[in-house]
Amino acid sequence: MRLTILTSITSDIAMPPDVQACHYEFGSSVVSYLTGLGIAEAYKPGEALFAKDWLPPSEPFCLSAHVCSTVVVAVKRVMPNIDWDAKSYPGSYQPVQLDSSKYTLPCSCIDWWSKRSCLCCACFPLAHCINGRCNPCLAQTVDALDPEIYKKTLQIKTFCPEEMRGVWWLEDNLAHETLVIFNDAKWLQSEDNPAIWEFFHDLPQTWFRDPTLFGYILGIAAAWKINDSKWTEQWQSFVPIVFNFDKGKAYLKNFEWIFRINEDEWQKAAFKVLPDGTVTDEVGYMYRWRRVMRGDGSLTSAWADMEAMMKRPYRNFFDPWCPCWPLCIPVADRNIEMGKSGGIQVGIFRPEERTATFSGCCCLPPCPCPCMCPLFAKVDGQWAEQFGSASATSSAPAQQEMGEGYQPIAQN
């Protein structure tokens, strides 16, 4: 992500829509940074500056230039320089992580890995609360097969391109995370090539995980990551991806690429890296992104496949209550089983959709709370950064003009 200083000024001017302002205050050791994009490290017009590791800075930089008054620096975004021909689709779908001869699960005789695992379930209510930053109502346990739970998020104003709107199923992913909604991510379109978009999605929010020990560890790690002083108001953990819809590819890292198969499916491949840093063409991990619900709320054919997987019968009498039930199935089946999710998921919705309910006990119905706990109740992320969080008196986000050719879904 590169930011280029266009000009330095000492008075207010009308900024073009593709330019944001960064303010330096005289005598202050703290430099305000472009929210979510990085911090200025260059001081002369025309110089390039770079966001540090794609993340907001953990520490403020000191301004070393001589400034006698408030200076406003106009900054213009420049998309990352990516070689879109560096990697090609490997030719076929190769979920090597499902092959136990190539991808070994440690201690697989104990069921820590199943996405319906009950290992340490006595700790789940506490883990659920910690997952919500110690707010018992922040994380919610939901039925993933209920289409209604996604529709409010799909109806928000969004810059999300039509190609990616909706609910996506992470099929064959061994990590205990199952569904993602892209509408409430931050989307930025390239000025030079309208087919290229940068995407930033908060890991804690509308990223649904399994209510297991592994799933809660992932959720807690995402919710409690802290980079700067805004952590009490904004999620600090997010995924940056660059999409090129003309090429049908998306770039995450030099060894991680996503390839479009059709309008409702992308496949994410992680290629093996040699000790010297060379990225090979051999696939080390691969799974599908399948759209199960479109941006308008209609279901795709993948929904039936997901429903069949989530409603599958248990493998034997001991599954999932006995931690040693995997001893009753072949080792080769354990990786395959780990890729299959259950219908109950844990997710954090946008502040406007949160309810005063504790749903962290998997064996009990949701428990209504007398009021919403105020602890981090309004924490929000990338989408709110682009549109503005809801105020105390209104649930409607701040208005913002849409990019030409990409219209938002109407607000309810």
Tokens matching residue 225: 């990551």
Under 8 Å between Cβ of 108 and 325 = no
Distance CA(90)–CA(40), nearest Å, equals 39
Distance CA(227)–CA(229), nearest Å, equals 7
Tokens matching residue 31: 């430099």
Sign of dihedral through CA atoms 288, 294, 300, 306?
positive
Distance CA(31)–CA(75), nearest Å, equals 14
Strand ranges (E), 60-113: 71-78
Largest CA distance in the chain: 76
How, if at all, do strands 166-171 and 186-189 pair? Answer: unpaired
Distance CA(303)–CA(151), nearest Å, equals 15
For the chain, the domains span: 2-78, 96-384
Answering whether pTM is above 0.95, one says: no
What string of pLDDT tens digits covers the 412 residues of the chain? Answer: 344 433 333 333 343 444 344 433 322 222 333 333 333 333 333 333 333 322 233 323 322 232 323 333 444 455 678 999 999 999 999 999 999 999 999 999 999 999 999 999 999 999 999 999 999 999 999 999 999 999 999 999 999 999 999 999 999 999 999 999 999 999 998 888 899 999 999 999 999 999 999 999 999 999 999 988 889 999 999 999 999 999 999 999 999 999 999 999 999 999 999 999 999 999 999 999 999 999 999 999 999 999 999 999 999 999 999 999 999 999 999 999 999 999 999 999 999 999 889 888 866 778 888 888 999 999 998 888 888 754 322 233 333 333 333 333 333 3
Distance CA(63)–CA(49), nearest Å, equals 14
Under 8 Å between Cβ of 184 and 156 = yes
Sign of dihedral through CA atoms 360, 111, 206, 21?
positive
The rounded radius of gyration (Å) of the Cα atoms in the chain is: 23
Within 10 Å of residue 269's Cβ, how many Cβ atoms?
Answer: 22
Q: CB neighbours of 392 closer than 8 A, spacing ≥ 6?
A: none
